[in-house]
Amino acid sequence: MIEEINLIATVAFGLEAVVKKEIMRLGYEIKRVENGKVHFSGPLEAIAQANLWLRCADRVLLEVGSFKATSFDALFEQTKALAWEDYIPVDGEFPAAKITSVKSALFSKSDGQRIVKKAVVERLKSVYKVDWFTENRGKYPIHIQILKDEVTLAIDTSGSGLNRRGYRQYGNEAPIKETIAAALVYLSNWKPHRYFLDPLCGSGTIVIEAALMGKNIAPGLKRSFISEDWDFIPANTFINARELAEGMINDQSFRLLGSDIDSKALKQARNNAELAGVSDYVAFQNLPVQSVQTKKKYGVIITNPPYGERLGDEREIKKLYADMGRVFESLDDWSYFIISGYEKFEKVFGKKVTKNRKLYNGDIKTYFYQYYGPLPPRKKDQESEQA
């Protein structure tokens, strides 16, 4: 039986450190961190735990092997030398599903996929003593990553991306990925005892992700994963992981607020919150950002406003950002965090940023602008935690 495995969490550029911390909190050993990838190791149950709990990673891959190859002959031979039979049964389906090749002599992606598939077939034919594979039970998608002639071969354990939480059946015109939304909440250091507002919430993704975090609800609790029925993983692994996750949901009570001018988007947000199981902890109201005002103190705003590459024309965007700057400035003890792909954001917003961070929202380069206000007085923090 396999006791220790090597895994790769794939991640949007700019969030590697966030996912590294997530993995460390799960108790697994970090091997190394690269652009877009965090390598780690653990027991077999790490497949279930990582898929259930990683909020900011895109996928979890099971690493089968890595090697250097500067020719397709070398790619074939070294792929064939790996112990694919440890993971893929005789009737398993194993497509060469995805390939990336960067700065490599093996630049033809179609040839790379074809050769890897052929090599795995030849390996399994020799092990299972068969000439034909039905490939009709279980799916084991092979991912091929080639960087500067270094090849990493892995099997996707997630299936659909980890951003597919299972709650967002309804989305507005330009939604943010759930994994990115969760990362924004992490980076803000928001805690449930502080007021929370997304004043341009759209279909509610940021508010819902914050609520899931506040309640310590595993983001993968309401979905399935391609690896759940794999033969080499004990049958009760995912069942036990889900039961453990359900027992870790806390009893904290809080109320997070989202607002937007789009009543249709707000209807979607309420439906999404219901599907996510957090409708008791969030509220949505129809309100333009220009009308936002509150007497609450030491709150946190996290928002994903429209920007030129996503929606609207530049005049509308500039007016919106200027209005946001005036409204947020009036909340003098609040912290606010804004993700935008608009290069002139800081100038139009009208306030010098405390800190920013480059992130990729899909294929769009964005910056996460972080404006830190004062923290709540320590005495109030203690009272909130005891309440």
Alpha helices in the chain (DSSP H): 16-26, 45-53, 72-80, 109-128, 178-188, 205-214, 237-247, 263-276, 314-330, 345-349, 378-386
Is residue 277 located within the same domain as residue 199? yes
| Residue 9 counted as domain residue | yes
128 and 187 together in one domain: no
- Same domain (yes/no): 333, 193: yes
Say if residue 107's pLDDT is above 50. Answer: yes
In which domain, by residue range, is 136 found? 5-156
Under the banding of pLDDT at 50, 70 and 90, the label for residue 364 is: confident
Q: Which residue has tokens 């735990």?
A: 49
| Shared-domain flag, residues 201 and 101 | no
Q: What is residue 362's predicted lDDT score, i.e. its pLDDT?
A: 80
Q: Residues 197, 328: contact at Cβ < 8 Å?
A: no
**Average pLDDT score over residue span 148-165:** 97
Q: What is the pLDDT of residue 308?
A: 58
Q: What CATH number is attached to the domain comprising 375? A: 3.40.50.150
CB 369 within 8 A of CB 305: no
Is 386's pLDDT higher than 50?
no
- 164 found inside a domain: no
* pLDDT tens digits, 14-32: 999 999 999 999 999 999 9
* pLDDT digits 0-9 by tens, 139-156: 999 999 999 999 999 999
Q: How far apart are CA 199 and CA 286, in angstroms?
A: 10
pLDDT value of residue 327? 97
Same domain, 355 and 254: yes
* Tokens describing residue 126: 């020799």
Distance separating alpha carbons of residues 345 and 351, to the nearest angstrom: 10
Shared domain for 129 and 254, answered yes or no, is no
85 within some domain = yes
Write out pLDDT tens, residues 265-301.
999 999 999 999 999 999 999 999 999 999 999 999 9
Specify the pLDDT at position 169.
73
Number of structural domains found in the chain = 2
Chain mean pLDDT for the chain: 93
pLDDT bracket for residue 315 (50, 70, 90)? confident
Burial of 39 (0-12, 13-18, 19+ CB in 10 A): buried
CATH number of the domain that residue 72 is part of:
3.30.2130.30
Contact 206, 198 (CB under 8 A): yes
In a domain, 162, yes or no: no
Residue 172 reports pLDDT greater than 70: no
Same domain for 115 and 182? Answer: no
Q: Let me know whether 193 and 97 are in one domain.
A: no
Same domain, 90 and 32: yes
Residue 237, in any domain of the structure = no
Cβ contacts of 38 within 8 Å, gap of 6 or more: 8, 9, 11, 16, 19, 20, 23, 30, 57
Q: Are residues 202 and 151 in the same domain?
A: no
The answer to whether residue 3 scores a pLDDT higher than 90 is no
pLDDT tens-digit profile of 82-101?
Answer: 999 999 999 999 999 999 99
Task: Compare 341 and 56 and report the one with higher pLDDT.
Answer: 56
From 89, 121, 156, give the residue that closes a domain.
156
Quote the pTM value: 0.93
pLDDT score of 310: 47
Asked whether residue 373 falls in the same domain as residue 280, the answer is yes
Q: Could you tell me the CA-to-CA distances from 5 to 57, 91, 96, 139 in Å, in that order?
A: 18, 22, 21, 19
128 in any annotated domain: yes
Sign of CA dihedral 50, 55, 61, 66: negative
- Rounded to whole angstroms, the Cα distance separating 109 from 257 reads 46
* pLDDT of the residue at 379: 61
Q: Which of 15, 285, 373, 318 is nearest to 176 (CA)?
A: 15
Question: Are 195 and 286 members of one domain?
Answer: yes
Residue 13: the pLDDT is 94
8 A C-beta contact, residue 349 and residue 369: yes
Give the pLDDT confidence score for residue 378 in this predicted structure.
76
Give Dmax over CA atoms of the chain in angstroms: 74
**pLDDT attached to residue 276:** 96
Q: Is the pLDDT of residue 129 over 60?
A: yes
Domain assignment of residue 173, yes or no: no
Residue 118 lies in a domain: yes
